[in-house]
Amino acid sequence: MRLSSPWFVSLAAALTAGITSVGCLGEDDDPVDGEDDVFVTDDGKTDVAGIAERSAEACAVLRLAREASFQELDDVVKLNRLAVQAIVGARANRFFVNLADLDRVKHVGPVAFRRMLARTRATSAWECSTQSVQLLATNDFHGNLKPPAGSSGRIQTGPDAAVNRVDAGGAEYLATHVAALRAQNPQTVVVAAGDIIGATPLMSALFHDEPTVESMNSLGLQIASVGNHEFDEGPAELLRMAYGGCHPTDGCRDGDGFEGASFGYLSANVTDDETGDTLFPAYEIRTFRAARVAFIGMTLEATPTIVTPAGVEGLTFHDEIETVNALVPELKNKGIETIVVLIHEGGFSTGLYNECAGISGPLFDIVRGFDAEVDVVVAGHTNAAHICDVDGKLVTSAASFGRLVTDIDLTIDEVTGDVTAKTGRNVIVTRDVAKDASQTALIARYDALAAPFANRVIGRIAGDLTRLQNPAGESLMGDVIADAQLAATSAADRGASVIAFMNPGGVRADILAATISGGEQAGEVTYGEAFSVQPFSNALVSLSLTGAQLDAVLEQQWTRQTDGTEKAMILSPSVGFTYTWEPARAIGDRVSELRLGGVAISPTATYRVTVSSFLADGGDGFTVLKQGTARLGGDVDVDALEVYITARSPLAPPALNRITRR
């Protein structure tokens, strides 16, 4: 059928004249599901029964078809009964994206369109305007159900970090803040940008992070991208987190079953090598009357370089920019004009938590590469806090450990589907609000179950062991861990190692003498405190390296990022090993004066070195360690730390004199 068809000319004239009854074909005369009633106007836009696509009238008609009751379509609009049944049946399984989509429904023809148009003109009930949609976002929660301690539990609010700071975080307070913000807008979606689980405190880790998933269910999390730490225990365990069931080895330690996440995981750029399918859905679409929002979930592409190989076996991680941009046309074909990307990748910022100052890092390069159709990017991974506008895209990050929640407000035009306004602000999760009762009950339950393990005293310290690095990159906690790993593997039958290294990213907490975590005395260290420092349960690996390879490992401590900035990952060495580095020299030629016990390292000699299984497999970019030979597995890292603290109590903080920076 063409625009010149007699019925169409008659209908168009009638509509122009405001006539509501025209002698034309009935729905039952529509032989091929209405397909012949779809037209293309001179400007290339679809036109159905005289109603132009993407017009206010089209939007109103579609709203009527999608939302009106059977009774209204039948009694008020007076559609043919077969057409009413077809519309109601079809919309149960799909969203009518446009008029052409509705026109394909069986028994829907020109008479149906004319009557629906007349109804929308007769009442304002189906008019399209704008919709206000609120997103509440967090990232890198890492199972911090209890309020995080020390600097990990504060947000800096002014120029002086020692004075301008607020205690923040804790699931009981996070849930209360989310509920209060959610109450401001019934059209709210709660989202997260990865690392909800993994590298968690003992109370969650003892139960394979089931407590954290249950906490997020109670909080009302709805959509989450997958972070690198979600893969710490491998894809099968991640799928269990999502869909439920007891742990295959430990069962359900808490005494009941585990139903899995009530929120949806998304992972557009992670595919199964065997099937080619994404591990989780690539995106999820939410509808707010006539406005629709697509959420794309993205995982850090570099996940295989920072997760043990077993954790990502059988999976491929694809480029973030290419993946998102390939999905944009697919989403637009579904009528989606508002696109939000939840990406577990981050950058860095020198500003305060609601600023966008001194930004750098891979996140911002990736955002600049995204299609212009992307409206909002919710980020994570680097624990940064910022609210930025990058090439017209709102780019947010909410620090870590539930200390902030990002309040994003969107205004969406229902006719065009476009975002007409967007704002974002980070809200501090202060601890001066009422605790959420359901979170309190959950924490109390798991705290009681974990207490016998967590509160066991393993030794004493004579001073604070912190992660704070000196100008050379050395830290007290890092050095102690390296010493513990060397002690655990120095015997001839345990590895015969003479050097050990600890990566800074694996040092997750301080051990402070004044902290009382489970009723112990000041200076005493509990197993729970030690576990908080090393929550990954990596095995120790002893391996052989030549002096030249040892030097090459240390040169890999510095890398150049895609934006030109430099990233440092300084390894803490065990006692007796020293070296010098010079920042003014080129990357790859900074390290010199390697010595063991004061004796220069020989490039051709072989040395036994201990690292975690994560590093031994090339984690954090230390690929030279993969060349190590004569490998021998050892104790779990936290067990080695426990033995070391117990044997040397009260343990004095070591001198920070192993690395020299010129």
Residues 6+ apart with CB under 8 A from 412: 130, 131, 133, 288, 291, 293, 338, 418, 419, 420
**What is the C-alpha to C-alpha distance for residues 383 and 363, in angstroms, rounded to an integer?**
12
Q: Which two tokens stand for residue 112?
A: 């149906």
Residue (of 97, 263, 252) closest to 178 by Cα position: 263
Residue (of 510, 425, 396) closest to 139 by Cα position: 396
**What is the C-alpha to C-alpha distance for residues 65 and 117, in angstroms, rounded to an integer?**
10
User: Using an 8 Å Cβ cutoff, are 307 and 232 in contact?
Assistant: yes
364-390 pLDDT tens trace: 999 999 999 999 999 999 999 999 999
CATH class of segment(s) 130-437: alpha beta
Tell me the mean pLDDT in the region 641-658. 97
**What is the C-alpha to C-alpha distance for residues 159 and 389, in angstroms, rounded to an integer?**
23
452-503 pLDDT tens trace: 999 999 999 999 999 999 999 999 999 999 999 999 999 998 889 999 999 9
Residue 4's pLDDT is: 39
Q: Per-domain residue ranges for the chain?
A: 6-122, 130-437, 457-661
How many Cα neighbours within 13 Å face the side chain of 64? 32
Residue 537's pLDDT is: 79
**What is the C-alpha to C-alpha distance for residues 230 and 299, in angstroms, rounded to an integer?**
10
- What kind of fold does domain 457-661 have according to CATH? 5'-nucleotidase;  domain 2 (3.90.780)
**What is the C-alpha to C-alpha distance for residues 36 and 237, in angstroms, rounded to an integer?**
51
- Sign of the alpha-carbon torsion through 631, 635, 638, 641: negative
Chain centroid to CA 502: 26
Helix axis angle, 210-219 to 437-454, nearest 10°: 170
Residues 6+ apart with CB under 8 A from 592: 579, 580, 581, 582
Residue 49's pLDDT is: 65
Which pairs count as long-range contacts for 387-396, CB under 8 Å and 24+ apart, including other chains? 387/354, 387/355, 387/356, 387/424, 387/425, 387/426, 388/349, 388/356, 388/359, 388/364, 389/356, 390/364, 391/367, 393/367, 394/422, 394/423, 394/424, 395/363, 395/364, 395/367, 396/137, 396/424, 396/426
The pLDDT mean for the chain works out to: 91
Q: Please calculate the CA angle 644-649-651 and round it to the nearest 5 degrees.
A: 80
pTM of the model: 0.82
251-284 pLDDT tens trace: 988 888 999 999 999 999 999 999 999 999 999 9
Q: How confident is the model at residue 619 (pLDDT cuts 50, 70, 90)?
A: confident
42-62 pLDDT tens trace: 444 556 667 888 899 999 999
Whose structure tokens read 């209360």? 176
DSSP summary character for residue 506: G
